Homo-oligomer: A and B are copies of this chain.
């Protein structure tokens, strides 16, 4: 055992799961082993156990995929499907009123994760995927989640290079800091063409006694957008959801997971 002495079996199992991504949802054993940085026989044995349990499935082509059993267990995540179940009716109301894209996201470490999305058929196309990640500094939901995140999270984001998506993306830490202060002051966030040049989003926080745990937003075509008119709608939806969460949903009251180190991802 000289490859990675000190590496636990559990970490290897988790590395196998980590090997899958939206871009690569199906992997051969060799790909799996390479991505998990494991010797092939090791990957083979651990993967076989995962298949036996249902965490992975193996197709007739020999490729491994994430198994339904893992999806089932994952659906028990309070911040995942649990949050979605509560939010969906409210999101649908918002959609009925506006017929625009509605998005729901939470923060995970230094990024955001989309929990649900209602994509209006006639609304501007959005490239987000449920279960997908995105940077915190560009989208409306991201600005909300960042503005109300613990100070150390903000510092870590501000310290790292801010990726540019369009010419309007805020990449200057000082400007971003002022922007976040403004978000906190007015209680909603506007991201105007900071992700794509055709879209604008307006987002509001969702609060529990523990603080801001999620964000909801509308994404609209920038040329027919009126942020000042949309903001009250989104904020109202955020408040309704905040109340629903606080009363019936203590379970989200997990400690805010603060990344001590960004080692796992």
Contact = CB atoms under 8 A, between A and B. Distances in A.
Interface of A: 8-11, 13-14, 17-18, 20-26, 35, 46, 49-50, 52-55, 57-61, 63, 65-82, 85, 106, 108, 113, 130-131, 133, 210, 251-255, 257, 263-265
A52 B264 contact: yes
B255 A59 contact: yes
A113 B59 contact: no
A131 B264 contact: no
Contacts of A108: 54, 68-69, 72
A53 B17 CA distance: 11
B68 A255 contact: no
A10 B75 contact: no
Contact of A75 (B71, B255, B263): B71
A106 B68 CA distance: 9
In this complex, the member of A13, A65, A74, A257 whose beta carbon has the largest number of chain B beta carbons within 10 angstroms is A74
Given A25-B78, A61-B253, A131-B76, A14 B68 contact: no
Contacts of A53: 11, 14, 264
Contacts of A60: 210, 253-255
A110 to B, nearest CB: 13
